[in-house]
Structure 1
Amino acid sequence: MDKTINNIGTLSGKVLLFGGVYSNLQALEALKAIAEQQNIAPENCICTGDVVGYCAQPEETVQLLKIWNAKSILGNVEIQLTEGEADCGCDFIEGSRCDGFSKLWYPYAQSKLSKNSIAYLATFPDHIYFNYANKKVTVVHGDYFNVSEFIFKSTDWNIKAKTIDATKSDVIVAGHCGLPFNHEQDNKLWLNPGVIGMPANDGSPQVWYAILEEINGEMKFTHHTLDYNYKLTNSLMKNGLLPEEYARTIVTGIWDNTEILPAIESGLQGFGINL
């Protein structure tokens, strides 16, 4: 299937970048409030996909994003939901703990979403392209070639460069892996703003997003943590239908397992993130 790329033109002012809302309505409400406090227009608020996921309020989360009118690309979860597939397409190892957990949260989300929400998710493009401070920026989920590809800070630059070259970009904004990071090389940037639906395995219930700003004609980026009502999110997830381990992560900031992580990122579990 051909990829859909939404060229949204040249952006100015602050740009809010986030990903992995994962059905976490409380986190999305908090982030929307940040955008409004900082006068960041909805068209400058961009999600790297996976609006739906592990938490308890998929329908409410999708509808709030729609009301906000922020932009999003397709994550693997959106693709699977809109195509009526039976699994999340996260590319977890079969039989792994993440794979087992997905057999709980994915059908739960599927059962809660209205036809209206599914139709809205189907409007998302595969990628978003824009110009900012004389930089060409492309938003992908995993990478350009595979929506479910896990790309981390430790991932070899040559792998990242393939997406940069294929999209003719100066900056790639990506999601999927759940961890915020930036990696600059050869005057190019790979920027993952992190996700707001789950903590970043750093031992804190706070979640992560990023902001682009143009300062003296140059693009600058900053990583930020987000405080939200994680205790309510945790409570709502204890419904007997969702993995209790994910509800626990909401509070502890520690992932149940590090199956998807390379050795470097796995070894940083619980040590905090300094960006």
Structure 2
Amino acid sequence: MIFLTSKIAIITDIHGNAAALRAVLDDIDQDKQVAHIYCLGDLIGIGHQTNEVLDLLLSRTDISFIRGNHEESVLRILDGKEPLSTGEERKHHYWIAERLDKAFVPALVHMPMTRTQTINGKRFLFLHYHLQEKDQFSPIDWHPSAEKLDMLYQHSKADVICFGHHHIIHHFKSNKKLYLNPGALGCNHQPFAPYAKIQIGNEGQLDISFKEVAYDNKDFLLAFQTLRVPASAYILKNFYGEQHVKWLK
């Protein structure tokens, strides 16, 4: 018997970190079995390399995209509306919107909130995070479980649900569904960029691997201050664990 498999990569929450993204894409490209990449939103915001990230991603033909809350807020600003964010995050989104290469706007506008795909008989649902009515993102559940996720997705026909937004890894399996979040590619308290691969066998069997790719984040982190990125102190502390301090004189 010949066993056919399909392999996909899942990336999410790049957050304007082109240095981390390059490392992950290089790692994925070394695996010639990966047929497609699914990017689950928040390509932009927090990090300052928005245009570099979008150029890297949109220049490829093997990636499907989902819109995240940071894309949503920046697009609202560009449309003359108030962003969904508040406080320092709101100022940060205005800063990102001002510097966004407008050539990327059509691609961002056309990114859907969800995607479905059947691969070797397994039904996949891809989204940035759990959605409420009118495609509003749910508040982050800081204590997720398979039971709670089964309740959320009890009416979904998907076998595998992939999402991001909550920056830590989720890997839950119930009798009904599998839930996966590979963790934030671009936000980490160590110089590692996480992502996941899923291999789907010809009978629907799943082989899931979580990867962390090491990269040099020095220039990326130090640029927050030289570029005067709004909310830099908050961002560097809460999303990167103040790794930049060791390079300050």
Q: TM class by shorter-chain length?
A: 0.7 to 0.9
Check conservation: 2:236, 2:242, Cα contact below 8 A. no
1:194-251 CA-to-partner distances (Å, cap 9, x unmatched) read 111101xxx5332321110135741121111121221121022222123223234565
Check conservation: 1:150, 1:176, Cα contact below 8 A. no
2:39 maps to a residue whose letter is C
Out of 149, 156, 173, the residue aligned to residue 184 of structure 1 is 173
For structure 1, which runs of at least 5 residues remain unmatched after alignment? 1-10, 91-98, 255-275
Residue in structure 1 matched with residue 196 of structure 2 by the alignment: 210
Out of 131, 135, 148, the residue aligned to residue 122 of structure 2 is 135
Check conservation: 1:16, 1:211, Cα contact below 8 A. yes
Query: Does residue 34 of the first structure (1) align with residue 47 of the second (2)?
Result: no
Residue in structure 2 matched with residue 110 of structure 1 by the alignment: 97
Check conservation: 1:234, 1:250, Cα contact below 8 A. no
Aligned length: 231
- Distance between the aligned counterparts of 2:24 and 2:94, measured in 1? 26
3-state secondary structure, aligned to 2:206: strand
TM-score normalized by the length of structure 1: 0.75
Percentage identity across paired residues of the two chains: 20
Moved more, 112-121 or 145-154: 145-154
- Distance between the aligned counterparts of 2:219 and 2:196, measured in 1? 24
- Distance between the aligned counterparts of 2:131 and 2:156, measured in 1? 8
Shift of 1:22: 0.6
1:153-207 CA-to-partner distances (Å, cap 9, x unmatched) read 72254542244333311111011111111111123111111111101xxx53323
Residue in structure 2 matched with residue 19 of structure 1 by the alignment: 12
Shift of 1:15: 0.7
Residue in structure 1 matched with residue 82 of structure 2 by the alignment: 86
Query: Does residue 235 of the first structure (1) align with residue 231 of the second (2)?
Result: no
Check conservation: 2:150, 2:176, Cα contact below 8 A. no
| Higher radius of gyration, 1 or 2 | 2
- Distance between the aligned counterparts of 1:33 and 1:176, measured in 2? 23
Shift of 1:80: 2.6
Check conservation: 1:231, 1:251, Cα contact below 8 A. no
The 5 A counterparts of 1:136-175 are 136-145=123-132, 146-152=135-141, 154-175=143-164
Residue 160 and residue 253 in structure 1: after superposition, are their counterparts in 2 closer, same or farther (change >3 A)? farther
Residue 155 and residue 253 in structure 1: after superposition, are their counterparts in 2 closer, same or farther (change >3 A)? farther
3-state secondary structure, aligned to 2:123: strand
TM-score normalized by the length of structure 2: 0.82
Shift of 1:57: 1.2
Residue in structure 2 matched with residue 50 of structure 1 by the alignment: 42
3-state secondary structure, aligned to 2:116: strand
